Chains A and B, each alone.
Chain A
């Protein structure tokens, strides 16, 4: 038991590592903000294209969405970070991570938006168009508000996935939370900094996971 505590819950080591980890957490937050905002926006645009009547726009988006849902995000990241330099495109870790995760996440957010938009009855669009609203006005005022409300739990759960995803940035030496914790582990030969990182992730994500469960249960009961 003592050995277990010393390996995973060494308070002294945790306290020493905390400043480093908090600095990493700030990078994680920045990363999340950029990826989530870009992902939401890109996902919405993709979803609208994927639902547009014009063939090439639609197929381009549908293929994009399926492609980036099929490739593991870490593979995208390694490709962007280590592969693109061969083509003369050298990216800083932060940019590489943002680009790779944007490709992955915009595809996921697009799927969520698409499902939401598809679930809005066709009569809503027809009624709006019959009163002279343009296709864009119809989308903005009539279709999107209920569509987004319907998929709010999925958007939230995707957001949780983004935060978890950013931990992969440690693989390309971006000093975010997990990278900092792993540095501290290798310096101290002790897993406690990793456990501390886990606790920090839990502090932010556990409440969100609870909310998602509640919300989905509420919908299911309805």
Chain B
């Protein structure tokens, strides 16, 4: 790591839905250009943590900093500007079905970022080229495979020049043979220096591309470290149990 500036910082984050406490006390730091990988059993609060980072979910307490700016106490009406700095990719892609692929990537550039149409189109085509889908610019999302849709969704988010990209199980809804193309796009992004926080079950990808792996369980960060460490020498019982369960299903 040549850079050490923290791009995303989570301090003592708590989140409650009514009575149920989903995030109990999360501390996490993602430095500039770092790819941090989050694993953990379903229901452990991974999605909720990501969604707090762009305030799709309102944290109950704690602080979140993006590029040094505290986003947890900016007023609601300024949320839109903050969200331009935080890109998000969802498990279900959520492309807009009534627009072409190109328009999907242009919309927020024009409406939220205020770019001119021409500028936005040029940027969109460039982004589509980077994810290998320039030839699909005029197609509708429904004409694309899941893997292609997810790559468009990544292009849509990255076109806004965010400081951080959040990925919530980006490949979980994909057929196995389509996973690779999406992971390649993510590797590309990392090479270009994007700061990324990724929730995923693709352990092989984590070993290969992650700077750090974070294991969450029951609303806490239980263990974190370099991939070799976390996968090769897990310390907590819960992580050991989780890893054996996951590798068991992967082998099956």
Would A and B touch once assembled, by the CB under 8 A criterion? yes
Which of B80, B92, B98 has a CB less than 8 Å from the CB of A134?
B80
Whether A131 contacts B108 by the Cβ 8 Å rule is: yes
- Interface stretch (choices A80-88, A108-116, A121-129): A121-129
Whether B92 contacts A137 by the Cβ 8 Å rule is: no
Whether B83 contacts A129 by the Cβ 8 Å rule is: yes
Whether B111 contacts A141 by the Cβ 8 Å rule is: yes
Whether B107 contacts A141 by the Cβ 8 Å rule is: yes
Which of B56, B97, B153 has a CB less than 8 Å from the CB of A126?
B56
Interface centre among B83, B88, B107, B111 (most CB of A within 10 A): B111
Whether B98 contacts A137 by the Cβ 8 Å rule is: no
- Size of the B side of the interface (Cβ < 8 Å), in residues, is 25
A145–B56 CA distance with the chains assembled, in angstroms: 23
B81 smallest CB distance to A (angstroms): 7
Whether B80 contacts A123 by the Cβ 8 Å rule is: no
B57 smallest CB distance to A (angstroms): 10
Q: Which residues does chain A contribute within 8 Å of B54, judged by CB atoms?
A: 130
A22 at the interface (CB under 8 A from B): no
A149 at the interface (CB under 8 A from B): yes
Which of B56, B81, B92, B97 has a CB less than 8 Å from the CB of A132?
B81
Whether A126 contacts B108 by the Cβ 8 Å rule is: no
A123–B89 CA distance with the chains assembled, in angstroms: 11
Q: Which residues does chain B contribute within 8 Å of A149, judged by CB atoms?
A: 98
Contact with A along B171-205 (1 / 0, CB 8 A): 00000000000000000000000000000000000
Which of A129, A130, A133 has a CB less than 8 Å from the CB of B111?
A133
A130–B160 CA distance with the chains assembled, in angstroms: 11
When C-beta atoms are compared, the residue in chain A nearest to B157 turns out to be A131
A23–B167 CA distance with the chains assembled, in angstroms: 65
A146 at the interface (CB under 8 A from B): yes
Whether A131 contacts B83 by the Cβ 8 Å rule is: yes
* In the complex with contacts A123-B90, A126-B90, A131-B112 CB distance below 8 A: yes
Contact with A along B79-106 (1 / 0, CB 8 A): 0110110111010101111100000000
A130 smallest CB distance to B (angstroms): 4
B15 at the interface (CB under 8 A from A): no
A5–B95 CA distance with the chains assembled, in angstroms: 61
When C-beta atoms are compared, the residue in chain B nearest to A127 turns out to be B94
B151 at the interface (CB under 8 A from A): no
User: Which residues of A approach B to under 8 Å, CB–CB?
Assistant: 121, 123-124, 126-134, 137, 141-142, 145-146, 149
User: Which residues of B approach A to under 8 Å, CB–CB?
Assistant: 54, 56, 80-81, 83-84, 86-88, 90, 92, 94-98, 107-108, 111-113, 153, 156-157, 160
The 6 closest A-B pairs by CB, nearest first: A131-B108, A127-B94, A132-B112, A132-B84, A123-B94, A130-B88
Q: Can you report 6 residue pairs joining A to B where beta carbons are below 8 Å apart?
A: A124-B96, A127-B94, A131-B84, A131-B156, A141-B96, A141-B111
